[in-house]
Structure 1
Amino acid sequence: MSLAAGRPRTDGPARGRPRSEAVERAIIEGVMKLLEDGVPFAELSIERVARTAGVGKATIYRRWAGKEELFVDVVRAAEPAEPELPGTSMRDDLVVLLESLRLRGLAHRSSAILHNVHAQIKSSPKLWEAYHAGVILPRRNLGLEVLRRGQRDGELRTDVDLELANDMFVGPILVRSVMRPDADLPDDLAERVVDTVLAGLRPPDATRP
């Protein structure tokens, strides 16, 4: 599996020599190979990763503080790339965000490595903390920012609890992806969820799409 382009980074500025995309790709694909071979996270040492990727341990530590941070970037590389929001309206941005979530749900169903990765994330508190801080929280904050802009621009009632509203948009797709893995994830699901929820959250005089 190849490294996804344009993935966000959570570790700070590079230390030492400049980053090499080819080296990072080799390291992440080295982790993927070990996972595909059935190596559990507990046995995924930096030394073993370095040997598989054909690099030195110092090369890895220049890029990641430890294997938890590296593992989070492996998840990013295996998942669909982060979406670029159109910025035309709150509704359009929400549809793009939920479509990205739907595609991740489809990827998790079809990818044995993603299924394996997420199972290991859930079993390790330290890994879950790194995944939550580096992946889940930034995505949630992006959704909240979209809702704040919509509220400011009159697309959303001013009395709406944005944290709750965000859960109302994201919840249906997460339920279908995680709690109901046999449920359909049709192409129009993101639009249907957004329009259904917005029907009850728009100001009375707001313009419909």
Structure 2
Amino acid sequence: MQIDTAAPVPRPESRCAAAEPCVRRRGRPRSEAAERAIVAAVERLMEDGVALADLSIEGIAAAAGVGKATIYRRWPNKEALLVDVVARLEAPEPQLTGGTVREELLAMMEFMRRRGLAKRSRWVLKTALGQLDNWPELRSMYQEQVLEPRRELVRRIVRRGVAEGVIRPDLNPDLLSEVVMGPILLRTVFWKEAPLDDPALAEQLVDAVFNGIAAPLPR
């Protein structure tokens, strides 16, 4: 049985009084069940070994039990759908909470730690991210829609820290952001044998940046 929200829905009889204008509903509410089925279908196809470049809207629709129109109502093309699916495979996006600058950086670092663990433990995510290098168009979309907003989030925290006087104002915000996030990215991307499962790792890294690594000068 197919889940197809593209099927026509009968219109209810109008109950508007003659003296009262009718308020027409625009569009049709999205079916969360259909959306979950589509995302799950892409994941299953990837688990079966289908490469991202070989996925098609027709194949995804068939695997999800929906019509192609149901997919196109949510995503304008295959690339947008795949970027969304890969992003969902990762840890939930961090949200600024209004805490201290240190607390916000700690939350961002913890997000990156969990993302690194997910990439190591979920081979589907690892495979998907690895294939982005062979698909420049998809990688560009992922960079623009997923990675760049995260970088901007770190820059916002850094700029706030500079404005509040808790971060040095004489360094470029981009450089400061890279100094903060660099260690966890290094462990995730290059030093894959380095442990990421220590819950205290994020706090250790943030405090190392805040306190500096130079030994105190002798009096």
Percent identity, aligned pairs only?
A: 48
TM-score of the pair, normalised by structure 2: 0.82
TM-superposed deviation, 1:65: 1.2
3-state SS, counterpart of residue 102 of structure 2: helix
Equivalent AA in structure 1 for residue 134 of structure 2: S
1:37 aligned to 2:69?
A: no
Paired letter, 2:163: R
Q: Whose radius of gyration is greater, 1 or 2?
A: 2
Matches within 5 A, 1:70-89: 70-89=81-100
Equivalent residue for 1:192?
204
Q: Distance in 2 between matches of 1:160 and 1:193?
A: 19
| Superposition deviation, residue 112 in structure 1 | 1.2
Query: Could you tell me which of 71, 79, 84 is aligned with 1:60?
Result: 71
**Residue 140 of structure 2 corresponds to residue 129 of structure 1:** yes
For structure 1, the residue ranges without an aligned partner over 5 or more in a row are: 1-14, 202-209
Q: Which residue pairs with 1:11 in the alignment?
A: none
Q: Equivalents in 2 of 1:137, 1:19: separation in Å?
A: 28
Residue 84 of structure 1 and its aligned partner are, at CA, apart by 2.9
Aligned to 2:38: 27
Selected match of 1:102 from 107, 110, 113: 113
Q: CA RMSD in A?
A: 1.5
Give the 3-state SS of the residue equivalent to 1:68 in structure 2.
helix
**Larger helix percent:** 1
Unaligned runs of 5+ in 2: 1-25, 214-219
In the TM superposition, what is the alpha-carbon distance from 1:16 to its structure 2 partner?
Answer: 4.5
By how many angstroms is 1:91 displaced? 0.7
Supply the AA of the counterpart residue of 2:118.
Answer: A
Moved more, 114-123 or 131-140: 114-123
Q: Which residue of the partner structure matches residue 8 of structure 1?
A: none
d(CA) in 1 for partners of 2:60, 2:164: 49
Equivalent position amino acid for 1:190 in 2: A
Contact kept? 1:16, 1:62, Cα under 8 Å: no
With structure 1 as the length reference, what TM-score do the two structures score?
0.85
Number of aligned residue pairs: 187
The whole-number CA distance in structure 1 between the counterparts of 2:139 and 2:95 is: 26
SS of match in other structure, 2:169: coil
Equivalents in 1 of 2:28, 2:133: separation in Å? Answer: 34
Q: Distance in 2 between matches of 1:170 and 1:177?
A: 11
1:112 equivalent to 2:123? Answer yes
Which deviates further from its counterpart, 106-115 or 78-87?
Answer: 78-87
Q: Offset at 1:58?
A: 1.0
In structure 1, distance between residues paired with 2:205 and 2:97: 18
Q: Secondary structure at the residue paired with 1:82?
A: coil
- Measured against aligned partners, the alpha-carbon deviations of 1:170-195 in whole angstroms (never above 9, x if no partner) come to 11001101101111112211111111
Residue deviations 1:75-124 (CA, integer Å, cap 9, x gap): 12211111233322111100000100000000110001111111111210
CA distance in 1, matches of 2:158, 2:123: 34
